[in-house]
Structure 1
Amino acid sequence: MNDVKKNNDNKKLSDKDLVYQLEGRPKFSVAFPLGMQHVLAMFAGNLAPMLIIASVAKATAAETVVMVQAGMLISGLTTFLQLYPIKIGKLKIGSGLPIVMGTSFAFVPTASAAALVGGIPAVLGGSLVGSIVEGLIGLFYKYLKRFFTPLVIGCTLIAIGINLLGVGRDYFAGGAGAKDYGSWQNLTIAFTTFLFVAILQRFGKGVIKTAALLFGLVFGYIVALLFGKVSFAAVTTASWATIPLPFHFIPTFDAKTIISFIAIYITIAMETIGNTSGITIATMDRQATEEETSGSVLADAVGCAAAAVFGSMPNTAFGQNVGIVSMTKVINKYCIALGAGVLVICGFLPKLGAVFASIPSAVLGGALISVFAMITINGVKMLAQAGFSERNVLVIGITFAMGIGLAGHADAIKGMPTFLKFFFEDSIAATTFIGILANLIFPEPKKAVATN
């Protein structure tokens, strides 16, 4: 009876009113542009991590197209899962909220290190195991949330941002190992793209501003064409339509890679939790429920596992899209679902994937280096929210000293026992685990109870 009443109420609302309701189906002509706004905002960010890892792993053009196709398909399907959860008994996979999923930059440093050693299969193996850990976080969220404080996640985001800035620098110069690394042509393309994106983000309005990265990539691509830096060989040979299949790459499993991925998955789970509450606070004036939060993380984990099986990078809730929902107050699931449908369709078009795969490194570097800086800044914001009390400064100092200062430097830790090397060979993993440990060893002092 309640569902019938809800449907009748929805029918009474106009299409323009329905877009501000979670349920209901406004006209396609009203809903589709709002869904496409979300696709435009995340398209470039969803694409770039796959292209970066494919380049680091020295993947062929055909393999890169497979990664891009799978990434688009899984992003769309996982978004559907967030919008329309699956219930298995008391277990709910998905939040039921307008959350858009996409490939996360947070995985790039760890995935790059894995790709250098074991190629794409090593990346997928670490990702697959890590997704299981994220699933456990979703299942037991109410018991585990005390370990993942803003202080811990803020430190980890800063470590991720610092690592990503190094990646961005190499792409800005034309790609690590490129024969023309640092050439004036690459720097011209990168700086031109960078300035174009900055201008759109500062002075653009509406979709122009939210999709600044996408427009910047198109602009940079045109500039690179003028410099003769674009090859269309893969585009001409790619099929128009194919069906992505599982296990194109057979995952391989390495203990060090798995530990590094687990650390990132902890951060990604917390990021998804934050974005889930961000939507409910901005549009419904309430915190996300425990069921919504747990379901959101579980959907993230399922999407990451599916991405590993189909040969693509892990995904997470996209902060850009949370920002759009918060700004526009458009929370209608049907609108977001139409955008997710576009992503799914893109997953069956390898010709389109080949076009994206032909984007030169300098263009990616110019468009994305500021995004990498923002990840660092977001970490600083989280630390500021936690506050800089004497205790917090001590925890932050220990975390950065060990996680960034010492970890990740092979020569400095060569005398460590093997089990400690697993943690200290990757600075992001070390920052996460040391942050959690320091936070537990030095707990928040109990607030004094006021007495009369």
Structure 2
Amino acid sequence: MADASIGTPEQLRDPNYTPPLAKAIPLGIQHVLAMFVSNVTPAIIVCGAAGFGFGSNSPDFPEMIYMIQMSMFFAGVATLFQTIGIGPVGAKLPIVQGTSFAFIPIMIPLVAGKGVDAVAVLMGGILVGGLFHAVLGLFIGKIRFALPPLVTGLVVMMIGLALVQVGIQYAAGGVPAIGTEEYGSAGNWLVAGVVIVVTLGLKFFARGMLSVSAVLIGLLAGYAVALAMGMVSFGGVGNAAAFALPNPLHFGLEFSVAAIIGFSLMAFVSAVETVGDVSGITKGGAGREATDTEIQGATFADGLGTAISGLFGALPNTSFSQNVGLIAMTRVMSRHVVTIGAIFLIVAGLIPKVGAIISTIPIEVLGGGVIVMFGMVVAAGISMLSDVHWNRRNMVIFAISLSLGLGLQLEPGALQYLPSTLQVLATSGILPAALIAIVLNLVLPAELSDEATEEVSGGMAGHAAGDFEKDTHV
């Protein structure tokens, strides 16, 4: 329940209300703490997949610091698009934007082992995909029918399943350590285990911001253990600049058909996710449905924020679901509170030393955090699937989509004779699963027979009903 000293119930439900600064600033910082880890993690994962940046002695170390910086800076800029708005762009609601996990399964195959030069391909895809995402705002309401819980739940679950391997590899010592004696050592797993145990303990036994910031605090606990074990190096912090502005086309721009198609298709998923977040904010904070203008403005801001990010070397942005939960918890609907949080992110993004400090986090510590985060993404997808009526039709759609999507990701060599562009798209896991589910859901006739369900499942099928809690960012 909200603190009565912040404002009256009517004021707290008003997005245009500004609480006293003594209350507004801590509330804004709360929003930053709730999303901070999830916002910078994708940049670290992409750099690791491409094979650059790790270790202060790496010649590409500054490039990883820069991408971390831009993740913070443009999360803040995109959040300002939402809270302040520019014409039709922005919902003018307390929506927090941040780097999206959903695009990671698309980005990893595009840059895997190719070094920093491959990032230009990502930036080209992010730019075009962001512009396409913005265009979706014109008719987002008309395409929601193609993405029921069966499809969206499967997609969210596939995002998590596509990433769990990354979490295990990081906890064991990181991809560069595979095959060495250090990989999978007891020390590595001890550090990762501390992160997991502390995170779960706070998530389930603490309340308020301790629970909301469980992953962040868990990472700090693991970091402290790693520091005591001599696993942390501060060599790059001293060399990092105290201030630096974003650099246009820092990584360059290269337009690849695979990247453009991949980012554009994922824009559908991200757009629908944003619609859900906007609805969650207005219901949880103001007790009303979101208007068409708010949904349209939020989608415009999503796409524009992503497109601009691509011009400066940042990754795709989307609305963050954990901050929706924070608004429901505090009952403070003020968009100006979130604006304060956005300013904190922008300032942090202008200070390379912040990125350098983040980059000192040992990969094992990050591994413990992402095991929890990606596992929760899978769980969020399953929660969404609990709203599905599991008749034979829906079970077949789910089974075929999951089998082909996950199977092709696990065995990419099965498509070795496809053109390289199609290989990248088909082995991402999430895209084939999503496309198959969407097409089958539109084509197959409705099946209402419960007996048919029992015929497929051996009588073990149930009709689950659960709360739809979409938290793909953790």
The answer on whether the counterparts of 1:158 and 1:380 sit within 8 Å (CA) in structure 2 is: yes
The answer on whether the counterparts of 1:35 and 1:338 sit within 8 Å (CA) in structure 2 is: yes
The CA deviation at 1:235 is 0.4
In structure 2, relative to structure 1, the CA distance for the partners of 1:421 and 1:65 (3 Å cut) is closer
Please point out which of 198, 201, 207 is paired with 1:199: 201
**Aligned: 1:300 with 2:291:** no
Equivalent position amino acid for 1:347 in 2: G
The CA deviation at 1:408 is 5.5
The CA deviation at 1:407 is 5.2
**Aligned: 1:409 with 2:408:** no
1:3 aligned partner: none
The answer on whether the counterparts of 1:259 and 1:422 sit within 8 Å (CA) in structure 2 is: no
Cα distance in 1 between the residues matched to 2:414 and 2:167: 25
The answer on whether the counterparts of 1:224 and 1:363 sit within 8 Å (CA) in structure 2 is: yes
The CA deviation at 1:387 is 2.1
Equivalent position amino acid for 2:28 in 1: G
User: Deviation string for 1:160-189 (max 9, x for gaps)?
Assistant: 111111111111111112243212221111
1:316 is paired with a residue whose SS is: strand
1:267 aligned partner: 269
The CA deviation at 1:281 is 1.8
Cα distance in 2 between the residues matched to 1:157 and 1:245: 33
2:379 aligned partner: 377
1:386 is paired with a residue whose SS is: coil
The answer on whether the counterparts of 1:189 and 1:223 sit within 8 Å (CA) in structure 2 is: yes
The CA deviation at 1:254 is 2.1
TM-score where L is the length of structure 1: 0.90
**Aligned: 1:72 with 2:65:** no
2:7 aligned partner: 16
The CA deviation at 1:16 is 2.5
The answer on whether the counterparts of 2:194 and 2:218 sit within 8 Å (CA) in structure 1 is: no
2:23 aligned partner: 30
The CA deviation at 1:421 is 4.3
1:105 is paired with a residue whose SS is: coil
After TM superposition, list the pairs within 5 Å mapping 1:212-231 onto structure 2. 212-231=214-233
The CA deviation at 1:382 is 1.5
User: Deviation string for 1:321-354 (max 9, x for gaps)?
Assistant: 0001112211111111111111111111111110
Cα distance in 2 between the residues matched to 1:303 and 1:269: 13
Q: After the TM superposition, which of the residue ranges 285-294 and 234-243 deviates more from structure 2?
A: 285-294
1:112 aligned partner: 108
Cα distance in 1 between the residues matched to 2:334 and 2:409: 45
In structure 2, relative to structure 1, the CA distance for the partners of 1:29 and 1:350 (3 Å cut) is same
The answer on whether the counterparts of 1:398 and 1:438 sit within 8 Å (CA) in structure 2 is: no
The answer on whether the counterparts of 1:190 and 1:366 sit within 8 Å (CA) in structure 2 is: yes
Equivalent position amino acid for 1:100 in 2: V
The answer on whether the counterparts of 1:32 and 1:335 sit within 8 Å (CA) in structure 2 is: yes
Cα distance in 2 between the residues matched to 1:421 and 1:346: 38
Cα distance in 2 between the residues matched to 1:94 and 1:116: 34
1:100 aligned partner: 96
After TM superposition, list the pairs within 5 Å mapping 1:194-343 onto structure 2. 194-343=196-345
After TM superposition, list the pairs within 5 Å mapping 1:89-168 onto structure 2. 92-116=88-112, 118=114, 119-168=118-167
1:450 aligned partner: none
Q: After the TM superposition, which of the residue ranges 414-423 and 293-302 deviates more from structure 2?
A: 414-423
1:174 aligned partner: 173
The answer on whether the counterparts of 1:19 and 1:31 sit within 8 Å (CA) in structure 2 is: no
Equivalent position amino acid for 2:68 in 1: V
Equivalent position amino acid for 2:29 in 1: M
Equivalent position amino acid for 1:260 in 2: G
The CA deviation at 1:117 is 5.4
In structure 2, relative to structure 1, the CA distance for the partners of 1:272 and 1:66 (3 Å cut) is same
User: Deviation string for 1:192-223 (max 9, x for gaps)?
Assistant: 11111111111122111111111122221111
Equivalent position amino acid for 1:371 in 2: M
The CA deviation at 1:106 is 1.7
Equivalent position amino acid for 2:153 in 1: G
User: Deviation string for 1:363-421 (max 9, x for gaps)?
Assistant: 01112211101111111121211221222112212211222234562222235577864
The CA deviation at 1:276 is 0.9
The answer on whether the counterparts of 2:43 and 2:67 sit within 8 Å (CA) in structure 1 is: yes
The answer on whether the counterparts of 1:95 and 1:292 sit within 8 Å (CA) in structure 2 is: yes
In structure 2, relative to structure 1, the CA distance for the partners of 1:378 and 1:443 (3 Å cut) is farther
Cα distance in 1 between the residues matched to 2:239 and 2:296: 44
Aligned residues: 431
Equivalent position amino acid for 2:161 in 1: I
In structure 2, relative to structure 1, the CA distance for the partners of 1:100 and 1:177 (3 Å cut) is same
Equivalent position amino acid for 1:135 in 2: A
The CA deviation at 1:14 is 6.9
TM-score where L is the length of structure 2: 0.86
Cα distance in 2 between the residues matched to 1:421 and 1:215: 39
The CA deviation at 1:312 is 1.4
Equivalent position amino acid for 1:152 in 2: V
The CA deviation at 1:446 is 9.8
1:280 is paired with a residue whose SS is: helix
The CA deviation at 1:252 is 1.9
User: Deviation string for 1:90-132 (max 9, x for gaps)?
Assistant: xx11111111011112222222222215532222222222212
RMSD over equivalenced CA pairs, Å: 2.1
Cα distance in 1 between the residues matched to 2:381 and 2:274: 15
Equivalent position amino acid for 1:85 in 2: G
The CA deviation at 1:73 is 0.9
Identity %: 36
1:368 aligned partner: 370
The answer on whether the counterparts of 2:391 and 2:447 sit within 8 Å (CA) in structure 1 is: no
User: Deviation string for 1:23-49 (max 9, x for gaps)?
Assistant: 122221011111111111111111111
